[in-house]
Amino acid sequence: MAAAAQAKGLEGWLITLEFPSYYAVMTYAQDRALREEVYAAYCTRASDQGPNAGQNDNGPVMEQILDLRQELAQLLGYASFSELSLATKMAESSDQVLSFLRDLAKRSKPFAAQDLQQLKAYAAEQGCADLQSWDSGFYGEKLREQRYSVSQEALRAYFPIDKVLGGLFAIVQRLYGIEIAEQKGFDTWHPDVRLFEIKENGQHVGRFFFDLYARANKRGGAWMDGARDRRRTVDGVLQSPVANLVCNFTPADSGKPALLTHDEVTTLFHEFGHGLHHLLTRVEHAGVSGINGVAWDAVELPSQFMENWCWEPEGLALISGHYETGEPLPQDLLEKMLAAKNFQSGLMMVRQLEFSLFDFELHATHGDGRSVAQVLEGVRDEVSVMRPPAYNRFPNSFAHIFAGGYAAGYYSYKWAEVLSADAFSKFEEEGVLNAETGRAFREAILARGGSQAPMVLFVDFRGRAPTIDALLRHSGLSEDAAA
Ligand SMILES: [Zn+2]
């Protein structure tokens, strides 16, 4: 904040409404009045409320966007924009999505209420007897620190990059019956970039580049890109797939190998899941091979699915080892990590459900005479455990659905989590390193890309339609979660 002030030629500290600045104040600022001031400014952006009321009000624009979407849907023969959105997704009908979200809400709301009660009790102990929206982040962070003081930095020593990669490869080689080997001597776009080849029974399957480290002028974030698709060409030649796997990890430093936080390890597994979806396809038509043509609400299945091995003791044993002593992750650190994983998961779940239901209802029921605010109020009555102040205009900056591609699709996050958790539960039943289950997952899901409806693929693997039980259990939101 001091640097931000300096950059503008100002004295002192500059707080902006950019997310990192807002988030830092909400999480760490001791000054309650400051938190309230920043909260009020942030949650009234582009609206008829707050310090800049009416200056850039998105309200009328949102109504217009919703009208036009409704018109577009009707021109194409759909009753509502939500039906149009679902035409290319795995979910089959608006009713199915709404009852899916409501079912999750009904089952997680009691846990959210418990989380809130705990937070309120803790805040009261600290001298805050009337917890408000601008207090929950602050006391939540203090409570988390007090209960599970496990720092990502402390975990780094146990995740040197070579140990992590060796473990990741060991896991997927065992599960999917493939061999992975580094190929040296190839030209790449940067000396840090490494090339690997995947083989199966000695036969070439595909290749991937790992571009893992942050460097100047490199785009931030982590992603998988299909550099080349598997396909049969007009000459009958089979083109093998190539993937780029890009992350922004901290590079090796002063004699130490690159050391990853557990969050970064999880990111690596996530992107590798997308990579395997692209590389282990058996489809020969580019349009539906790998991740091509896979429905929006199913494309995160293989990636979120791979993350599970970062939380399983059997997986952690393979991917962790102190960079100096080789000692595996100590039991007490592991237990703290697992306990911290589901901290306030009830509150997080109902928050995501509030966004998802609001988005979906808004697009499913537009034109029924209710305003955007009324739809939101209705959803909050149903799922929320903590009401924000009346001036809150969160929809006015909900860019995912008004300015991004998530209109009538925000539910996809939860939908894909349900699929990946339920798919993984088969491994929990049969062994997390069970090669037979791994092969079945590969042939049913990874190999078939967009060549079939995702529900068909899922049922082929799981033997039944997906249920929400595994996700609730993994998130600590079921009675047997503690087991
Ligand atoms: Zn992803």
Domain limits of the chain? Answer: 59-148+344-410, 155-328
Given CA atoms 213, 312, 115, 152 in this order, what sign does their dihedral have? negative
Tokens of 465: 């339609």
pLDDT of residue 63: 96
Catalytically annotated residue among 271, 300, 307, 354: 271
CA of 79 to the centre of ligand 1 (A): 31
Query: How many whole angstroms separate alpha carbon 327 and alpha carbon 337?
Result: 17
Ion ligand 1 contact residues with beta carbon within 5 A: 303
pLDDT of residue 154: 80
CA of 201 to the centre of ligand 1 (A): 29
Q: Are 41 and 17 in contact (CB under 8 A)?
A: yes
- Residue 383's closest CA among 360, 363, 405, 364? 360
CA of 230 to the centre of ligand 1 (A): 20
How far from each other are the two terminal CA atoms of the chain, in whole angstroms?
A: 44
Number of H helices, E strands in the chain: 20, 7
Q: Could you tell me which CATH number the domain at 59-148+344-410 has? A: 1.10.1370.10
CA of 477 to the centre of ligand 1 (A): 24
CA of 270 to the centre of ligand 1 (A): 6
Given CA atoms 61, 67, 69, 72 in this order, what sign does their dihedral have? negative
pLDDT of residue 483: 38
pLDDT of residue 20: 81
- Residue 440's closest CA among 241, 212, 175, 191? 175
Query: How many whole angstroms separate alpha carbon 412 and alpha carbon 400?
Result: 12
Domains 59-148+344-410 and 155-328 fall in the same CATH topology: yes
pLDDT of residue 396: 97
CA of 106 to the centre of ligand 1 (A): 27
pLDDT of residue 147: 86
Is residue 436 among the annotated active site residues? no
Given CA atoms 423, 429, 433, 439 in this order, what sign does their dihedral have? negative
Q: Residues, the chain, total?
A: 483
CA of 330 to the centre of ligand 1 (A): 29
CA of 134 to the centre of ligand 1 (A): 31
- Residue 274's closest CA among 242, 310, 306? 306
Tokens of 8: 């503008």
pLDDT of residue 10: 96
Residue segments in the chain with a per-residue pLDDT below the cut of 50: 482-483
The whole model's pTM is what? 0.88
CA of 274 to the centre of ligand 1 (A): 7
pLDDT of residue 481: 52
Q: Is domain 155-328 given the CATH code 1.10.10.60 in the classification? A: no
CA of 47 to the centre of ligand 1 (A): 32
pLDDT of residue 471: 94
